[in-house]
Chain A
Amino acid sequence: MDEKLRAALAAVQKPGRYTGGEPGCVYKEKDRVDLRFAFCFPDTYEVGMSFLGMKILYEILNKRENIWCERAFMPWVDMKRQMEALDIPLYALESKDALSRFDVVGFTLQYELSYTNILAMLDLAHIPLYAKDRGEDDPFIVAGGPCVCNAEPLADFFDLMMLGEGEVQLPDVCDTIIQGRREGLSKKEILKRLYKIEGVYIPAFYEVDYLPDGRVAAITAKEGAPAVVRKAIIADMNSQPLPENFVVPMIGAVHDRAQIEVLRGCVRGCRFCQAGFLYRPMRERNADMLSRAGQNLCANTGYDEISLTSLSTSDHSQLETLLDDMLEWTPKEHVSMSLPSLRIDNFSESLVRKTTAVRKSGLTFAPEAGTQRLRDVINKNVTEQEIERTCSLAFDAGYTSVKLYFMLGLPTETLEDVEGIADTAQRVVELYYQNPNKPKGRGVQVSISVACFVPKPMTPFQFVGQDTQDRLREKQQHLLRSVKSRKISVSYHDSRTSFLEAVFAKGDRRLSRVLEEAYRRGCFFDSWEEQFRYDTWLEVFRDLGVDPAFYANRAIGLDELTPWSHLDYGVTKDYLVREYQKALNARTTPPCNRQCSGCGANALLGGPCFAYN
């Protein structure tokens, strides 16, 4: 570790974020590999180290002898200041080499409010922000993750984006770059080979024209690139081994535990949920494979907690078997299990028993909307009775606190739906006091957490405009007035961050200057309340003559060309339109494992998604 770095570390709050050296991290001889990859997470170390995707790809790339994958995170404000003052370029934690010396620098795009951090990280690494300004010696700057389904606001900064699942695609991209370099090809020539890989999108090879009113007129592919880029997918999840080694953070990460991904995708089809549409169709892993991988992972990392992760773990068809298999080894190896995404409607008594056998924590549920009508609109197929049944079960089992998640600003929402949120919480409180088996002498605590709805691309709600901030604040106030019990606490999100999120979620390429200018004026870590500078953002929009409401609050016509219409995640636009119209009539759609509704994603597998009998 060099002296400048030691001086910087001596001056910051949490130096452990910037040192690397954790158990499980991989070191290689840099001269003996063909490609060096820097996996960048554009948020703090603690947030990034919780992210399973990075662990999966870190293991896959490092299994390859000729590739060395390292990690980099966004330094917190104090460290950023030190690095600028001492002229320390942003480095990867393993080798401490500057990112500019890498062959590929890859960012994962998990949420829109991390976009300015990407610019800050490139800048800290002394890498030119715009793809057009970078030379042959600069690394390829690439992106993956859910937000690439419409990362058009970042299109000008990236050489390449990867749609879909990276397990096979990312090594293919690396191999193509290695091969191209070996043949002495230019970056552009290499890019022209890369777009042949499933899901690879080269933004510079697409030209976007706009109508006078600001909507997209046409998106034209150039340089022989495909007119439509279709996401990459792992057809059989059992073909992909789970990571059995994690880099184990030494300073506590947000999710600091072993994780096994039990399934990918979701059968539910909640109409607001982008992940649910991006990862279609749902695919499971065998219980047997999962339990074994989990056991090895705990043995290799020393973790004493394992989480069964996915969008909807309790939809796994062999969940009970899986839990039983895991209970064979978890108690004697001092490991506790947690299920982060339990669903109300199939929360069974035996599930309660098996997961609390080792660990008892508060329960969280997400009804998302306060009335049955609105839940039908969003296709969150949870009934009042199910909520009540689940809470009774939980209270029987000794739980005394329940956290309920809702959204405000959903399409067709009225003030009556808002009151429904308070009513739902109130009924949970009453259920507790009516329960004869409730823990003696203890009260109940029901907390409601309310997010603002953000319409997202690739979902049936991509067409709707977001409620204005005034309207959202009005609804928040109405909710606060509707809550009558002291046992209920309410927390809600800042509508300003949700507004910005909507702008960048549905934005187009004209927003890259906005991002750059906002970053130049000091915006980064926008998802951190203490760093969020809303006024600066508004000034930037005004100074550059860009109307953010055009992106966030305007409804998109059903026949309009969206900025993301050249990107294909398997679900057809027809289906999105159909689902949207059903939503307006409060008509629900059954989950995929019960009945196929023909979204089109089965084409990605080349056959039906489920064996219905």
Chain B
Amino acid sequence: MRTIRVWFTKTGEASYISLLDLQRVMQRALKRSGLPVWYTLGFNPHIYMTFAAPLSLGQESLCETVDFKTEEDGYDWDAAAPVLSACLPKGIDVVRIAPAALDANDIAGAAYAVRYAPRDAAAARAAWEAYNAAPSAEVVKEGKHGKTKTIELKTHLPTARLLVEDGGLTALLRLPAGNTLNVNPVLVLGWLEDASGLPVTAGRILRTDIYTKTGEKFS
């Protein structure tokens, strides 16, 4: 049995699909695609799937992954990508299908681009520059069971790079992601809202890459 990894985008309308719903969507799409997917045995057979580092609702991504299992050797997975794409909703495009090289537990970080429309660009620049200059940026993270935890964002993201794109502004950040520690970019945007009044909803979050502990791209 081998593990096959599907890389896909999750943009536009599809960014509002929750993880639970995505599981159902992917289950049906894999079924429709006719790919040689392994089903669990037993009374209610289903496809065994794992999603690595799932996104929050409303955030977009160019680099989501889902793994499934197959008993097939030497299958032409390159040709399978457009077939699976055709079975998926708007905003989910399959970029690549290939045997998994690394373990999802190796994921340690993710890169994000936070994009602002031209009319928010000036305010966004001021807010982000204030972040970059601040000696400390603490936020309170709500954990499970009502517990809260204070996080110093600066240890994870000392500064963000700012780019001007089409008159708008894009902030590039890299944050911890994965099973051990996960810092949601929304926490940084929340800090900006508190510190400078820049609304969280002004920035559109796009995940662009996933990295391992050693800093190489997850594959």
Contacts and interface: CB of A to CB of B under 8 A. Distances in A.
Contacts of B58: 6, 9-10, 15
B18 A16 contact: yes
B80 to A, nearest CB: 15
Contacts of B7: none
A300 B12 contact: no
Given A250-B21, A252-B21, A23 B28 contact: yes
B117 A16 contact: no
A304 interface: yes
A67 interface: no
B16 A15 contact: yes
B24 interface: yes
A198 B22 CA distance: 44
Interface in B19-76: 21-22, 24-25, 27-32, 39, 45-46, 57-58
A4 to B, nearest CB: 11
B14 interface: yes
Please indicate which of the listed interface residues A6, A20, A250, A300 has the most CB atoms of chain B within 10 Å of its own CB: A250
Contacts of A6: 58, 201, 204
Interface residues of A, number: 25
B17 interface: yes
Nearest to A23: B89
Interface in A324-346: 334
A20 B16 CA distance: 10
Contacts of B161: none
A19 interface: yes
Interface residues of B, number: 30
Contact of A21 (B29, B30, B91): B91
A303 B89 contact: no
Please indicate which of the listed interface residues B12, B21, B57, B89 has the most CB atoms of chain A within 10 Å of its own CB: B89
B187 interface: no
Contacts of A3: 117
A58 to B, nearest CB: 16
B24 A252 contact: yes
A10 B60 CA distance: 13
B18 A251 contact: yes
B87 interface: yes
B88 interface: yes
B2 interface: no
Contacts of B18: 16, 251
B31 A19 contact: no
Contacts of A252: 21, 24
Contacts of B213: none
B210 to A, nearest CB: 23
B12 A21 contact: yes
Contacts of A20: 13, 90
Interface in A13-30: 15-16, 19-23, 25
A304 B204 CA distance: 36
Interface of B: 12-14, 16-18, 21-22, 24-25, 27-32, 39, 45-46, 57-58, 87-91, 117, 200-201, 204
